[in-house]
C-alpha cells in the first residue's frame, strides 16, 4: 500500500482535520499544507491532521513502513512554543476526560519547547527537536507495571537512577536523538524507515538516528502544531499545561509519501 499526498490544491478526504482555539489547517499550491496557530494568551490551540478517526477504529500502519515528507516550521526551534511534529503514534491520550489513556507507542520527529521536560532517555534533554521512539505496550514494558511505584521512588536517588534507568528505558522502547533546532526553520526532507527490527531516521538522505527499538503494534499518521507542554520524568514528575503564544507560528508540509510492506 502506498499513500501519496501533495496537500494541494485541496485536502484529500483521507485526512481528519483538527482545528482548536486559534489553530487552522489550510492548503495552497505554493506551500502545500499549513498547520497554523495564532497568538493566544490562554486556552488550548491545535492545528492537526491524522489519517484515522477518533476514537480510532483502526490504525493503518505496522512495520515495515517507509515515510518521506518535506517540512519546515515558521522559525527555528528556539523561537517556537508548544509542541509540533509528524510521524506515527497510537493516539494514547483521549480528548474524552472520562476515558483512560493508552500506553504510548510512537515513531516520529517530535518538537517540544520549555517548559516541557520529558527526560525519557539518559543524556538527552527533555525538550527540543528530536527523532524518537517509544513503545510502552510491549511485554517488557508491561512487566514493569506492578513495580511502577517503588521504581519511581528509587529513581529519585541518583545512585539507583544511574544503575537502573538504562534497563527501564530499554524495556519502554525509548530511543531519542536531539537534532539541531535551526533545522526547523528551512525546508528539509525527513524519512522514517520503520522496520520490524530497527527504525532509521534520515534528513535529506543522511541517517541521523537508528535504533533497534522498533514498536511492533499498529499506529496512525499524525502531524500537528499546538501550544501545550508536558512534564514526565523518571522521578515521577507528571504535569501538563498550556504555553501562551505571542506570535503566529506554523508547520508547513508537502510531498508526503507512505509506503507500507515496501
Considering only CA atoms, which of 253, 232, 228 is closest in space to residue 81?
228
Q: Are 190 and 71 contacting, i.e. CB atoms less than 8 angstroms apart?
A: yes
Q: Is residue 21 part of a domain?
A: yes
Residue 113 burial (CB count, 10 A): 20
Q: Is residue 234 part of a domain?
A: no
Please check whether residue 141 lies inside any domain of the structure: no
Does any domain span residue 194? Answer: yes
Domain of residue 79: give its range: 2-93+100-136+173-224+242-260
**Residue in this structure with the C-alpha cell 486556552, named with its chain if needed:** 43
Domain assignment present for residue 237? The answer is no
Tens digit of each residue's pLDDT, the chain (262 residues): 677 777 776 788 889 999 999 999 999 887 889 999 999 878 999 999 999 887 777 899 999 999 999 999 999 988 999 999 999 999 987 554 445 567 899 999 999 999 999 999 999 999 999 999 999 888 887 888 888 888 888 889 988 888 888 999 999 999 999 999 999 999 999 999 999 999 999 999 999 999 999 999 899 999 999 999 999 998 988 899 999 999 999 999 999 999 987 5
Q: Total domain count for the chain?
A: 1
Domain for residue 162, yes or no? no
Assessment of whether the complete model's pTM goes beyond 0.85:
yes
Residue 119 backbone dihedrals phi, psi, to 5 degrees: -85, 75
Q: What is the CATH number of the domain that holds 31?
A: 2.60.120.200
Would you say residue 201 lies in a domain? Answer: yes
DSSP 3-state of 145: helix
Q: Is residue 166 part of a domain?
A: no
Residues contacting residue 219 through CB under 8 Å, at least 6 positions apart: 59, 61, 62, 88, 89, 90, 105, 106, 107
Amino acid at each position: 500500500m502506498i499513500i501519496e499526498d501533495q496537500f494541494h490544491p485541496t485536502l484529500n478526504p483521507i485526512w481528519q482535520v483538527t482545528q482548536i482555539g486559534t489553530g487552522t489547517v489550510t492548503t495552497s499550491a505554493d506551500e502545500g499544507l499549513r498547520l497554523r496557530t495564532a497568538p493566544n494568551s490562554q486556552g488550548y490551540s491545535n492545528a492537526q491532521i491524522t489519517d484515522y478517526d477518533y476514537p480510532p477504529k483502526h490504525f493503518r500502519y505496522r512495520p515495515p513502513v517507509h515515510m518521506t515528507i518535506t517540512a519546515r516550521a515558521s522559525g527555528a526551534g528556539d523561537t517556537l512554543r508548544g509542541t509540533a511534529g509528524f510521524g506515527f503514534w497510537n493516539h494514547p491520550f483521549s480528548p474524552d476526560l472520562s476515558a483512560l489513556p493508552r500506553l504510548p507507542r510512537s515513531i516520529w520527529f517530535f518538537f517540544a519547547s520549555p517548559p516541557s521536560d520529558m527526560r525519557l532517555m539518559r543524556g538527552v534533554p527533555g525538550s527540543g527537536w528530536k527523532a524518537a521512539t517509544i513503545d510502552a505496550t510491549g511485554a517488557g514494558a508491561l512487566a514493569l507495571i506492578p513495580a511502577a511505584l517503588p521504581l519511581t521512588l528509587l529513581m529519585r536517588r541518583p545512585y539507583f537512577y544511574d544503575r537502573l534507568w538504562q534497563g527501564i528505558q530499554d524495556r519502554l522502547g525509548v530511543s531519542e536523538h536531539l537534532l539541531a533546532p535551526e533545522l526547523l526553520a528551512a525546508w528539509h526532507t525527513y524519512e522514517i524507515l520503520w522496520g520490524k527490527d530497527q527504525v532509521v531516521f534520515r534528513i535529506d538522505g543522511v541517517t541521523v538516528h537508528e535504533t533497534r527499538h522498533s514498536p511492533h503494534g499498529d499506529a496512525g499518521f499524525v502531524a500537528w502544531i499546538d501550544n501545550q507542554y508536558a512534564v514526565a520524568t523518571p522521578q515521577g514528575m507528571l504535569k501538563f499545561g498550556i504555553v501562551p503564544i505571542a506570535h503566529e507560528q506554523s508547520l508547513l508540509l508537502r510531498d508526503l509519501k507512505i509506503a507500507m510492506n515496501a
